Each structure stands twice: as structure tokens, then as C-alpha cells.
């Protein structure tokens, strides 16, 4: 019998890099040579890095922590800080702030020195989790962790901007300059975006001039897009188009579909839809292909104007151009038809979505369910509710409350029981739902004595 070739530490790293399934990669790492019962396997630092990255991306955090504990016992090498930065980032993306903090705190126990790199990873993770108070706590004692750099301040300024604290953002900007830290294009982009969001366009344009004149930092596409969005929001379309022309002249700015989409939306809002075709033509001539977001902006504009023939025409054009409509495309039209009282057409389009190659999502179902309830189409609403529950969706709490209330007003006990059965069978009733239904039913004295309803309202 041919002898089984043993996997070496170098070979393990290669196999882990090639393995697509994180579960199989984990099994391989834990037992690289199942036929061998000799001395322990000598794992390399690269193998640890690879498996931790695969498990973190797959959100297999229990297994990742198991590998991390194993790595802690190694004495042949010192782990690199980047491994912990990645782990903190994985936790941040999954909104697991406590685990991100714990990982940061544990870094020294691995005989690894923390630097500004892991500090920035932690701040970014906390920002993803919207733990702004914790970020402020760390900032107040920031010198005990590391010396902050431009990236540190960019994250803090972004947090202040998201919290609508422009004064704090400016204070941070001033502080980084006092410390001799040079602001970069991200710093200015974040501040300009925040100013535009708060309709402080004059300040935003002054800062754009300052970044070029005083700091020799060239504005990037993000800066221009923020300013264009701000101008469109203020209905200053002529200035917005002027900025777009600046971007066309400077080929390094990478004029993309986001700019044109913003302008198209603004044209519809300003009642200038006749200019949209010209923007689309220019867009194509500039080598910028309209994407789904662009077409959806057009669909939305036509639906607001109740021009549904044109909205459906956009759907057809998308297919012709090889840009398949997504669920948002259909949801916009379904919602628009419902608001215009064309409920039957909305339901027809909803039912036709699978044939068109796009499955309805929870938003689709909620739009149709709300429309049917508003139109007093209770039987069809119940049918949609059954489908929702079967697919793991539930209506909005406020919609469900209105539905139950209307059934109570109609005195339709059988329908009410069917609704409760549907929700219960799909495990779609939580404590808040039960409280709402109980409160609604008990307000209706004509139903209060119904033992059938009362029994339905008692959790089993």
C-alpha cells in the first residue's frame, strides 16, 4: 500500500489558501494529518493568519476564537498586530462591539504591542456599531493607547459628523493641526460632506478652496459628489452641472454614474424631466454606462409624476441594455401604483415579478399588504400574509395593528382567528405583537366575550 504523504506546515498554508469552504478549512487546520499520532503539528504564523481570516469572513466566531486561543499558546513566534486588526474589523462589521473591545484589550496578552493601527481598527469597528459614547471615552484617554494619526482623526470626525456634531468635528480638525498632523483628502471629504448634509454650502465651498490653496490637497471625486448632492438638495442645479463640467475636464476624478444619477434625480424633483434624456446621452458619450441605481432614479421620478407608462418603459430599456431591473425597481412602481389607487395593477406586477426574473422581498410584500389593508381587501391581505409568514417575513407592527383593528371593527371573528393562526404557525408572534393584538381586541366590547378570540390570545 502506498504511504500517505504527510502535510507539512508549508503545505498546510497552501491548502488553506485554496480551500473555499471555511468549515472544511477549519477541519483541515485542526487535524492536518489524521493518520499520524506522532509529535504535535508545528503550525506556522501564516496558517493561523489564513484560517482566522477565513473564519472571520464567514462569521464563524466561535471557531475563530478557538484558533485564537490555540495561537496564544504558541511560543515559536510572536503574532503580528494585523491579525488582531482583522479580527476587530470582522466583529465591527457584524455589529459586535463588545467582542471587538475584548480583542483589542487582549492584544498585549499575545506578547504583541498595540499601535495606532489596532486603535484605528477599534475606533472604526465602534463607529460601525454606532457606539459613539465609547468612542468618545477612548478619545478622552487616547494618549494612553497610542499616538493618533490622520486616520484616527478621520474616524473621529466622521463619528462627529454622523452624530450631527459639526462643532465637535471642527474642534477635532483644529486639534489635529495643533498636533502637527496633516489633514488629507479623507479629512476634507468628510467635513465637506457633513457641511453639505447640513445645508452649509458656503462653508463647504470655502473649505474646498482652502484644501487646495492652504493645504495643497486636491479634491477627489467624493468631494465633488458631496458638493453636487448638496447643490441639488438646495435646488441649485445650474451650479451642480457646472461642478460636473469641472469633473469632466479633470480626467483623474473618475466621473461615474453616481454623479449623473444625482443630477437625474434632481432634474425630476425640479420638474425638468425633459433634460434627463440629454444627461443620459452625455453619460454614455463620456463612457459612463447607466447602472441599476441610475435607472431606478428615473423610475422613481416618473412614478412621482404618475407617468407609469414611462416607468414601465424604463424597465424595458433596462432589459434591452443588459441591465436587469432589481427588486427596488419593481418596489418603486408597485408603491407608486398603490398610492395612485391602482391597487389591482400593483398586485398584478407583484405577482408577475418571479416571471420577470426577480423575486419579491419583504418590502414588496409589505407594500402590497399595506395597500390591500387600506383598500379593505381583507381576504387578499390574509393570503399575502400567509405567503409572507411562509417565507419568514412579517408585516410592519403598525400595519398589523391597523389590520387587526379593522377586522375588529368589521366584527369578522373568523378572519381574525385566521390571521392569528397564520402568525402563530409561522412563529411570527412575539410578545409585543401579542400585547398589541390583546389591547386592540379588548377595546372592542362586541368581541371581548368571544372565548375563541380570548383563547387565541393566550400563548401556548
Mean pLDDT of 411-423: 74
* Residue 251: Cβ-neighbour burial (10 angstroms; 0-12, 13-18, 19+): exposed
Question: 174 burial class (0-12, 13-18, 19+ CB within 10 angstroms)?
Answer: exposed
Which one-letter DSSP state was computed for residue 272?
-
Q: Which of 181, 125, 115, 113 is nearest to 153 (CA)?
A: 181
Cα separation, 158 vs 193, whole angstroms: 10
Decide if 151 contacts 120 (C-beta within 8 A): yes
441 has a pLDDT exceeding 70: no
Q: pLDDT tens, 345-374? A: 999 999 999 999 999 999 999 999 999 988
Contact partners, residue 88, CB within 8 Å, separation at least 6: 100, 103, 104, 118, 121, 122, 125
Three-class secondary structure of residue 40 per DSSP:
coil
Q: What is the mean pLDDT of residues 112-130?
A: 95
pLDDT of amino acid 1: 41
CA distance 384 to 378: 10
Q: How far apart are CA 101 and CA 391, in angstroms?
A: 36
- Look at residue 445 in the predicted model and tell me its pLDDT: 45
State residue 332 phi and psi, 5-degree precision: -60, -45
Tens of pLDDT, residues 186-197: 999 999 999 999
Q: Which of 383, 328, 399 is nearest to 361 (CA)?
A: 328
User: What angle do helix axes 237-249 and 257-269 make, rounded to 10 degrees?
Assistant: 160
Q: How far apart are CA 128 and CA 53, in angstroms?
A: 19
pLDDT higher than threshold 60 for residue 446: no
Higher pLDDT, 283 or 1: 283
- pLDDT tens profile 209-234: 999 999 999 999 899 999 999 999 99
Amino acid at each position: 500500500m502506498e504511504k500517505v504523504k504527510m502535510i507539512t506546515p508549508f503545505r498546510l498554508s497552501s491548502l488553506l489558501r485554496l480551500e473555499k469552504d471555511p468549515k472544511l478549512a477549519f477541519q483541515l487546520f485542526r487535524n492536518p494529518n489524521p493518520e499520524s499520532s506522532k509529535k504535535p503539528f508545528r503550525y506556522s504564523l501564516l496558517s493561523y493568519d489564513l484560517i482566522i481570516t477565513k473564519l472571520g469572513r464567514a462569521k464563524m466566531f466561535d471557531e475563530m476564537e478557538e484558533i485564537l486561543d490555540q495561537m496564544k499558546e504558541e511560543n515559536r513566534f510572536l503574532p503580528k498586530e494585523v491579525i488582531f486588526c482583522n479580527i476587530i474589523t470582522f466583529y465591527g462589521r457584524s455589529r459586535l462591539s463588545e467582542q471587538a473591545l475584548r480583542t483589542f484589550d487582549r492584544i498585549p496578552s499575545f506578547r504583541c504591542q498595540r499601535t495606532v493601527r489596532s486603535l484605528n481598527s477599534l475606533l472604526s469597528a465602534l463607529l460601525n456599531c454606532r457606539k459613539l459614547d465609547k468612542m468618545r471615552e477612548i478619545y478622552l484617554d487616547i494618549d494612553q493607547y497610542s499616538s493618533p494619526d490622520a486616520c484616527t482623526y478621520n474616524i473621529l470626525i466622521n463619528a462627529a459628523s454622523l452624530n450631527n456634531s459639526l462643532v465637535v468635528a471642527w474642534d477635532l480638525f483644529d486639534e489635529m493641526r495643533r498636533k502637527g498632523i496633516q489633514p488629507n483628502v479623507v479629512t476634507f471629504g468628510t467635513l465637506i460632506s457633513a457641511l453639505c448634509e447640513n445645508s452649509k454650502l458656503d462653508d463647504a465651498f470655502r473649505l474646498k478652496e482652502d484644501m487646495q490653496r492652504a493645504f495643497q490637497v486636491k479634491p477627489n471625486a467624493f468631494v465633488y459628489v458631496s458638493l453636487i448632492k448638496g447643490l441639488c438638495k438646495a435646488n441649485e442645479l445650474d451650479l451642480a452641472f457646472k461642478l460636473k463640467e469641472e469633473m469632466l475636464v479633470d480626467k483623474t476624478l473618475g466621473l461615474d454614474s453616481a454623479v449623473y444619477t444625482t443630477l437625474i434625480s434632481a432634474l425630476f424633483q425640479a420638474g425638468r424631466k425633459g433634460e434627463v434624456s440629454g444627461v443620459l446621452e452625455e453619460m454614455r458619450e463620456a463612457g459612463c454606462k447607466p447602472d441599476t441605481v441610475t435607472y431606478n432614479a428615473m423610475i422613481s421620478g416618473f412614478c412621482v409624476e404618475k407617468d407609469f407608462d414611462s416607468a414601465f418603459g424604463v424597465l424595458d430599456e433596462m432589459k434591452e441594455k443588459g441591465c436587469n431591473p432589481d427588486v427596488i425597481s419593481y418596489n418603486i412602481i408597485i408603491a407608486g401604483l398603490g398610492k395612485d389607487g391602482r391597487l389591482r395593477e400593483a398586485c398584478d406586477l407583484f405577482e408577475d415579478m418571479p416571471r420577470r426574473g426577480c423575486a419579491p422581498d419583504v418590502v414588496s410584500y409589505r407594500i402590497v399588504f399595506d395597500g390591500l389593508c387600506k383598500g379593505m381587501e381583507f381576504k387578499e391581505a390574509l393570503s399575502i400574509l400567509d405567503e409572507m409568514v411562509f417565507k419568514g417575513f412579517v408585516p410592519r407592527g403598525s400595519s398589523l395593528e391597523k389590520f387587526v383593528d379593522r377586522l375588529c371593527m368589521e366584527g369578522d371573528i373568523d378572519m381574525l382567528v385566521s390571521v392569528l393562526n397564520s402568525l402563530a404557525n409561522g412563529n411570527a408572534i412575539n410578545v409585543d405583537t401579542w400585547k398589541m393584538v390583546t389591547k386592540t381586541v379588548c377595546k372592542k366590547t362586541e368581541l371581548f366575550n368571544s372565548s375563541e378570540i380570548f383563547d387565541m390570545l393566550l400563548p401556548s
